[in-house]
Amino acid sequence: MKLYEIVEILNATVLTGSEHLHRDISNCGASDLMSEILSSLSEHSLLLTGLTTVQTFRTALIAGIGAVVFVRGKMPNADTIEMARNEGLPLLATELTLFASCGKLYGNGMRGLDGAI
């Protein structure tokens, strides 16, 4: 699925990475525990989270995440946004809950690593 499709499905705001909206996202995972992200997501995955700390950004870089979506209207601070911009990591924000975001993506064909979200 293309990142611009995800933006549309989640009615998301693009915080960084608008130049990467044609990026392919192969699968998705959702968590607020960064240890789970490191052990379960692969490169080019989409991360959905409510955690807006700089650790989320660093975890996404280490794991090779293709993009991060912050749910529930949460926004990272300006420093995190700037770091993501410098690294070319797309950050999105949606007003949807984590549950609703996963459901909408699943309903539009997105799957997790194991074939489900």
The number of domains in the chain is: 1
Range of the domain at 54: 3-107
Domain membership flag for residue 30? yes
Domain membership flag for residue 84? yes
Domain membership flag for residue 114? no
- Token readout for 86 is 């410098």
We report the CATH number of the domain holding residue 16 as 3.40.1390.20
Determine the angle formed by the axes of helices 78-87 and 54-63, rounding to 10 degrees. 20
Domain membership flag for residue 117? no
Instruction: State the Cα–Cα distance between residues 19 and 74, nearest whole angstrom.
Output: 22
**Per-block mean pLDDT, blocks of 10 residues, the chain (117 long):** 97 97 92 78 86 91 92 96 95 97 95 63
Domain membership flag for residue 112? no
Instruction: State the Cα–Cα distance between residues 105 and 9, nearest whole angstrom.
Output: 7
Q: Cβ distance 62 to 44 under 8 Å?
A: no
Domain membership flag for residue 82? yes
Domain membership flag for residue 113? no
Is pTM, for the whole model, over 0.75?
yes
Residue 11 pLDDT: 98
